[in-house]
Amino acid sequence: MSSIVKDTPNKLKELALLFLRLGITAFGGPPAHIAMMHDEVVQRRKWLDEQQFLDLMGATNLIPGPNSTQMALHMGYSRAGWRGMLVSGSCFILPAAVLVLLLTWLYVQYGTTTYAETLFYGIKPVIIAIVLQALYMLGRKAVKGVLTSIVALAVVAGYFYGINEILLIFLGGFVVMLLRNYRSFPGTRMFSFIAPLIGINLVALQAKEVALSTLFLTFFKIGAVLYGSGYVLLAFLEADFVQTLGWITTQQLIDVVAIGQVTPGPLFTTATSVGYLVAGFKGAALATVAIFLPSFIFVPLVNSVVPKLRNSLLAGAALDGVNAASLGLMAAVTIQLARVSLIDPLTIIIAIISAVGLFVFRINSTWLIAGGGIVGLIYGLV
């Protein structure tokens, strides 16, 4: 026991250094973030094995909140308990929040985000290669035969057909659980996943009188109930801050979401931008804490349950189905991202070189992202 306690500071330092770096370099949204975490935590450091990582990834899709941030919290919690979770989560969120705050300040002062688009031009092809590597590595473990293969492919098709992402995740888990265990259902207890109950009516508050408390509670509500992609976040922000409260305009919302998309780290740091527009630096801090706080509550609860789910016949099958569905969603988003990332010969060349660097030479993805960004900036200057 004493050796574990003595080793904790070293683990916390490792977590801080890793997730600070990821927070600065993790461009491209949750699939790219999770791919980079997989490379660092599973392949390079061996903190988790493939199955443990997959199970945690599947579990994050069953609870509301930002998936890649929750994976960072899971990594920290698995490595060093609640202290590790606080360190990994804070270090992953803070760099993005600070950068988003800086760009929002520039936007307010000058109405511009200079060089962001050219930077991302070179980074996006690298992201495609990073996610493809993760799909390959995770797919070898997640696809456990014909059934999970069909589920993964069906989810890809369902995604492009327009079926809700969360429905696809739950259907994937249910189908695998049902088909693997249909003979045993008469004598078994069914597991169910219950979404958090929502009972807060925030919009009835007087915005002008309690602006900061309304700001905090609104973002806390969003963090506690939001499933799905950044487009779902956009819908929540539009409904709450544009339509109901009237604190920002539609154009301002589009601009701050764009800032979130061209910066590294979680897209939920868009809350930082909105908070700054509404109430300055204090609003930015409150909004950032509020939207991420529910994840810090959910993750320890889920993390302790996942091993029990894996050991259950029914729940283990459901988790396999969720994992296959999650991988299918990741593949579908990658296809979508590739359409807007590989737009000319240069971006295709960047993606191919990055893939060779990852698969053949095992170059750290951080260096590839930095190289892609430099190429993008140079391309923008010539």
If one counts every other C-beta atom within 10 angstroms of the C-beta of residue 112, the result is 10
- How far is Cα 380 from Cα 377, in angstroms, rounded to an integer? 5
- How far is Cα 117 from Cα 322, in angstroms, rounded to an integer? 35
Sign of the torsion formed by the C-alpha atoms of 126, 128, 133 and 137: positive
Q: Chain-centre distance of CA 232, in angstroms? A: 13
Q: Which residue is associated with the tokens 């060089």?
A: 115
First to last CA, the chain: 60
As a whole number of Å, the CA-based R_g of the chain is: 21
pLDDT of residue 197: 32
- How far is Cα 167 from Cα 153, in angstroms, rounded to an integer? 15
By the 8 A CB rule, do 141 and 54 touch?
Answer: yes
3-state secondary structure of 212: helix
- How far is Cα 220 from Cα 201, in angstroms, rounded to an integer? 12
* Per-residue model confidence as pLDDT tens for the chain (382 residues): 333 445 678 899 999 999 999 998 887 677 778 888 999 999 889 999 888 898 888 888 777 788 889 999 999 999 999 999 999 999 999 998 999 998 888 878 765 555 666 777 888 888 788 778 878 877 877 787 899 999 999 988 998 888 877 788 789 888 988 888 866 655 444 434 333 333 333 343 333 434 788 999 999 988 887 765 555 577 678 778 888 888 888 778 877 776 776 678 888 898 999 999 888 999 999 999 999 999 999 999 888 888 777 778 787 788 788 778 878 877 887 787 788 889 899 999 999 999 999 889 888 777 888 898 899 889 888 7
- How far is Cα 75 from Cα 37, in angstroms, rounded to an integer? 9
Residue 243 gets which letter from DSSP?
I
Residue 368 gets which letter from DSSP?
H
pTM of the model: 0.68
